[in-house]
């Protein structure tokens, strides 16, 4: 929510810092007790070659890269939701619930957004829960939502097998 648009001011006076703390505490409450089961974000390996073409592929495939770095995985405070929206491959909503879950939505605040969006590129995929062999690939950032000076970001991810 903007404080002012043109000559019109907002009527809301929300203590954003206190609300952010309460919502972060709620996010922590919803996270698994087991650290390994919490959402873990991974970045693509960064590889650079001395002599390369426009697609950053080496001219000489036998040459070693000048830079080969795998950024460390990160865990941030977040809320997440699994869904099987209509139209997605594998989605089978039934009266008893959604089956073949194909979409993961992750909700974060500004600090976590800065970590996950990165300086040059954001994370590649995320794993959640005991079935860590299932990757949820980044699709897009939904438009941010404001509530006073509190900004909320949501990330849409798709299961690798959909």
Domain ranges within the chain, ordered by starting residue: 14-159
Q: Mean per-residue pLDDT for 72-85? A: 89
Q: Mean per-residue pLDDT for 91-120? A: 79
Give the residue with greater pLDDT, 55 vs 92: 55
What pLDDT band is residue 96 in, cutting at 50, 70 and 90?
Answer: low
- What pLDDT is attached to residue 1? 52
Distance separating alpha carbons of residues 47 and 53, to the nearest angstrom: 13
Distance separating alpha carbons of residues 44 and 93, to the nearest angstrom: 33
CB distance 49 to 62 below 8 Å? no
The strand pairing partners of 105, in sequence order, are: 81, 156
pLDDT at 78 over 90: yes
What pLDDT band is residue 97 in, cutting at 50, 70 and 90?
Answer: low
Distance separating alpha carbons of residues 127 and 136, to the nearest angstrom: 6
pLDDT at 38 over 90: yes
> Which range, of 46-55, 81-90, 146-155, averages the lowest pLDDT?
81-90
Residue 60, number of CB atoms within 10 A of its CB: 10
What pLDDT band is residue 22 in, cutting at 50, 70 and 90?
Answer: very high
What DSSP designation does 43 have? -
Residue 77, helix vs strand vs coil: coil
- What pLDDT is attached to residue 75? 95
Please provide the average confidence, as pLDDT, over all residues in the chain. 82
pLDDT at 141 over 70: yes
């Amino acid at each position: 929510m903007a404080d002012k648009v043109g000559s019109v001011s907002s009527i809301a006076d929300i203590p954003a810092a206190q609300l952010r703390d309460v919502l972060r505490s709620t996010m922590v409450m919803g996270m698994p007790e087991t650290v390994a089961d919490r959402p873990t974000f991974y970045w693509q390996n960064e590889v650079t070659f001395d002599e390369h073409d426009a697609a950053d592929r080496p001219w000489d495939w036998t040459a070693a890269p000048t830079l080969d770095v795998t950024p460390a995985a990160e865990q941030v405070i977040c809320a997440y939701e699994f869904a099987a929206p209509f139209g997605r491959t594998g989605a089978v909503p039934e009266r008893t619930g959604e089956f073949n879950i194909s979409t993961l939505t992750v909700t974060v605040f500004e600090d976590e957004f800065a970590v996950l969006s990165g300086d040059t590129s954001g994370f590649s995929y995320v794993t959640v829960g005991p079935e860590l062999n299932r990757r949820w690939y980044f699709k897009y950032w939904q438009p941010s939502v404001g509530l006073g000076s509190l900004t909320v970001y949501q990330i849409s991810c798709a299961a690798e097998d959909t």
